[in-house]
């Protein structure tokens, strides 16, 4: 059996697996562009950016214990092709380059250092560190992730609380057409749906963690812990969307990363802008390392 404490701990662990610092660039811009329509926008974003990934994990838990079991329902050949394409998508083709590009922009582009030489040097160092840790993957990496995530979350909640309750900002009353559609499409762009299917086996093994559970108990445990993760993610994404909607009155931009960096600077000051940029970059490199290690194990 399991206790409420187990549900909460596993729920927050699942939250840490689904949460990526790179996804933070989406909610503020959605709120910024949709103004008073930020609620339906974020509802749709939560469905595809949070709900779909959780459904992916549930689907894998029903049919087996990994991406190959999931795709085998079609055919063994399809299973191999689907697994390869999915892993490449969340690895070297899309997700890994995106973490590097996002980290680079957060660090340099809006901090007065726009020379291409900085970008090249940073990316060489960034992916060099990722390769180094991937070759020597051990518990140190997991410990770093466990330390970084709570610190980053504390700073994120500081931004949300300051932006909503203490900053003298207001949301424009403009209505954004097709707000739900916009949020729905942007939520899928996080790529967490594909990642959740690929990582489902790891997540399910973490949930078992030596517990003696029947399939029915395991499924119930996954549902309850998943709700904890979904509510936590929805709270952070929704909070940042509202802060982004309020920033429309003091900031003009069309870039997601610029909005995130300047929002932090406006609400917490330049010192905190540097710190959250640093933490986001470390979190992105940690996620990139996990992607690399997982791809290495598969291939």
Largest CA distance in the chain: 58
Residue found under tokens 């927050």: 12
Query: What is residue 90's DSSP assignment?
Result: I
- Helix residue spans in 105-191 (DSSP H): 116-135, 139-161, 179-188
What number is the average pLDDT over the span 184-194? 86
Using alpha carbons only, what angle is made at residue 158 by residues 8 and 5, rounded to the nearest 5 degrees?
10
SS3 for 63?
helix
Label residue 166 exposed, middle or buried (CB < 10 Å: 0-12, 13-18, 19+).
Answer: exposed
Confirm if 115 and 100 have CB atoms less than 8 A apart: no
Looking at residue 29, what is its pLDDT? 92
Looking at residue 163, what is its pLDDT? 87
Model confidence band, residue 45 (pLDDT cutoffs 50, 70, 90): very high
Confirm if 61 and 253 have CB atoms less than 8 A apart: no
Confirm if 249 and 169 have CB atoms less than 8 A apart: yes
Looking at residue 2, what is its pLDDT? 65
pLDDT tens across 71-118, in order?
888 888 888 888 888 888 777 887 788 788 777 777 776 566 667 787
Confirm if 54 and 229 have CB atoms less than 8 A apart: yes
What is the rounded CA–CA span in Å between residue 207 and residue 195? 17
Model confidence band, residue 167 (pLDDT cutoffs 50, 70, 90): confident
Looking at residue 129, what is its pLDDT? 78
The CATH number assigned to the domain holding 232 equals 1.20.1740.10
Total count of domains within the chain: 1
Model confidence band, residue 180 (pLDDT cutoffs 50, 70, 90): very high
SS3 for 35?
strand
What is the rounded CA–CA span in Å between residue 145 and residue 114? 29
Residues paired with residue 175 on neighbouring β-strands, in sequence order: 35
- CA-to-CA dists, residue 121 to 104, 110, 133, 276, angstroms: 10, 17, 19, 21
Q: Which domain holds residue 125?
A: 4-297
């Amino acid at each position: 059996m399991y206790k409420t404490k187990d549900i909460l701990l596993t729920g927050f662990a699942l939250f840490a697996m689904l949460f990526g610092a790179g996804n933070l660039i989406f909610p503020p811009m959605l709120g910024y562009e949709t103004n008073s329509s930020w609620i339906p926008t974020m509802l749709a974003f939560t469905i595809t950016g949070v709900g779909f990934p959780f459904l992916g994990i549930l689907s894998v838990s029903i049919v087996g214990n990994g991406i190959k079991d999931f795709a085998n329902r079609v055919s063994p050949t399809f299973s191999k092709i689907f697994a390869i394409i999915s892993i490449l998508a969340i690895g070297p083709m899309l997700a890994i380059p995106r973490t590097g590009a996002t980290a680079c922009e957060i660090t340099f582009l809006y901090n007065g250092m726009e020379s291409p030489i900085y970008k090249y040097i940073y990316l060489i160092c960034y992916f060099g560190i990722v390769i180094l840790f991937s070759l020597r993957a051990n518990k140190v990496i997991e410990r770093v992730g466990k330390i970084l995530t709570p610190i980053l979350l504390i700073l994120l909640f500081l931004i949300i609380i300051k932006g909503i309750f203490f900053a003298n900002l207001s949301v424009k009353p403009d209505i954004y057409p097709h707000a739900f559609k916009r949020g729905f499409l942007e939520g899928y762009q996080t790529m967490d749906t594909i990642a959740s299917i690929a990582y489902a086996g790891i997540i399910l093994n973490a949930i078992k963690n030596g517990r003696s559970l029947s399939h029915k108990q395991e499924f119930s445990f996954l549902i309850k812990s998943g709700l904890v993760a979904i509510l936590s993610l929805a709270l952070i994404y929704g909070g940042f969307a509202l802060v982004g909607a309020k920033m429309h009155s003091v900031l003009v931009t069309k870039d997601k990363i610029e909005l995130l960096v300047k929002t932090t600077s406006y609400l917490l000051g330049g010192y905190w802008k540097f710190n959250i940029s640093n933490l986001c970059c470390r979190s992105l490199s940690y996620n990139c390392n996990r992607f690399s290690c997982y791809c290495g194990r598969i291939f």
